[in-house]
Amino acid sequence: MSSPAVDARGVDKYFGRFKALDGLDLTVETGQVAGFLGPNGSGKSTTIRVLLGLLRADAGAVRLLGGDPWKDAVALHRRLAYVPGDVTLWPNLTGGQAIDLLGRLRGGLDRGRREELLARFELDPTKKARTYSKGNRQKVALVAALASDAELLILDEPTSGLDPLMEAVFTGCVLEAKEQGRTVLLSSHILSEVEKLCDTVTIIRQGKAVESGTLEDMRHLTRSSVRATVTGDPAALASLPGVHNAEIDGDRISMDVDNDHLDTVMRSVTDLGVRSLVSNPPSLEELFMRHYGDELAALNGNRGSAA
């Protein structure tokens, strides 16, 4: 396989005394859609700006499309397109003018695709940017990025201002980009979006990558939720290794099962005579909660004591 599209190792970035990135690792293989997940302020945008050569890493090694993002910025930027999280446009340019300008500065865009994307995103290109809502400004940047022939798309929370219909359009566009063999780095705090689109996920917290891998790999590390109705007494299941939070109600049981114990637990369930069985794979939400759960607990604790 060719070298990864994005390869960051041990990246530190300070703003004054504040450590925004703390030994961050991030790898995106060519041709993949990579999710970059983390709450607000965890360092997602800072990482992306380091990748774009807008900020200089204080330590660590960063390679982007095989080059140095700081030194080779211009050459690398011809091969990528970027949508910032908070798009600000020139108030006196129309959306159409801004799209064309950004395209020309990158080195051209596909006229046909530009028109098609404008129609799909239902964007009026004759309006001045100052009259656009946040969502519409985001659409301008999205159209400009997607109408390019960039091999790498860097999208920073691209759907944060879009309505659900437009989110669906966006999802379609990213899947098409993937089919065309483009690489996508998608930062988000919306789990369902990442789950829907991404091959790999990196979870970032306080400037550090705390978990990364394919969704499959990560699911192996966690638990599936299983609900079953059996002929026999389900009580015995509760004490099996790898079973958590078992709740028994007559002949029904619901439980969380460690994925590496799923096989043995399922054998025991079938031995009891299955009448119905529902098993859900772990959601990214659970993965996420595992890493931010303590923050959430602290938050709830504060709220509890305040109340």
Partner 1 sequence: MSALTGTGTLTRFILRRDRIRMSVWTVALVGTVAMTIPTLDEAFSTDAQRQARAALMDTPTGILFGGPGYGLDDYTLGAMVVNELTMSLLIATAIMSILHVVRHTRAEEESGRAELLRAGVLGSGAQMTAALVTVALLNLVIGGLSGALMAGYGLDATDSLAYGLGLGLAGLTFGAVTAVCAQLTEHGRAASGTAFLAVGLLFMARVVGDLAERGGGPSSWASPFAWVQQARVFDDLRWWPLALYPLSILALFGTAYALAGRRDLGAGLIPARPGPAAASPLLNGVFSLHLHQQRGSIIAWSVATFLFAISFGTLATEVEGMLDSNPDLMAMLGGAAEDVTAGFLGVMSGYVVMAAAAQGILSVLRARSEESAGRAELVLATAVGRVRWYGAALAVGVLSTSLLVVLGGLGIGIGALSSTDDSSWIGTMLESALSQLPVALAFVAATALAVGAVPRLMSLVWAWLGYSVFTTMLGALLGMPDWALNLSAFGMLPQPPVEPFEAAPAAVASAAILAALVLALAGFRRRDLAVG
Instruction: Provide the binding-site residues for partner 1, judged by CB under 8 A.
Output: 45, 49, 52, 54-56, 73-75, 77-78, 80, 82, 84, 86-94, 96-102, 104-107, 125-128, 130-131, 141, 154
Closest CB to partner 1 among 94 and 202? 94
Tokens encoding 218: 């990560």
Count of CB atoms within 10 A of residue 2's CB?
8
Closest CB to partner 1 among 138 and 159? 138
The DSSP element (H or E) to which 236 belongs, if any, is none
**What's the min distance (Å) between Cβ of 50 and partner 1?**
10
Closest CB to partner 1 among 103 and 282? 103
**What's the min distance (Å) between Cβ of 118 and partner 1?**
9
Count of CB atoms within 10 A of residue 132's CB?
22
**What's the min distance (Å) between Cβ of 97 and partner 1?**
4
Closest CB to partner 1 among 49 and 139? 49
Closest CB to partner 1 among 33 and 99? 99
**What's the min distance (Å) between Cβ of 31 and partner 1?**
22
**What's the min distance (Å) between Cβ of 2 and partner 1?**
22
The DSSP element (H or E) to which 66 belongs, if any, is none
Distance, in Å, from the CA atom of 50 to the CA atom of 68, rounded to the nearest integer, reads 10
Q: For 274-304, give one letter per residue: b (16+ CB within 10 A) or e.
A: eeeeeeeebbbebbbebbbeeeeeeeeeeee
Query: Running DSSP on this structure, what letter comes out for residue 67?
Result: B
Closest CB to partner 1 among 45 and 224? 45
Tell me which amino acid residue 266 is. M
Q: For 220-249, give one letter per residue: b (16+ CB within 10 A) or e.
A: eebbbbbebbbeeebeebeebebbeebeee
**What's the min distance (Å) between Cβ of 161 and partner 1?**
14
Distance, in Å, from the CA atom of 65 to the CA atom of 151, rounded to the nearest integer, reads 9
Distance, in Å, from the CA atom of 28 to the CA atom of 306, rounded to the nearest integer, reads 43
Closest CB to partner 1 among 22 and 156? 156
Q: 3-state SS of 206-223?
A: CCEEEEEEEHHHHHHCCE
**What's the min distance (Å) between Cβ of 158 and partner 1?**
14
Are 292 and 253 a contacting pair, CB within 8 Å?
A: no
Closest CB to partner 1 among 141 and 269? 141
**What's the min distance (Å) between Cβ of 296 and partner 1?**
25
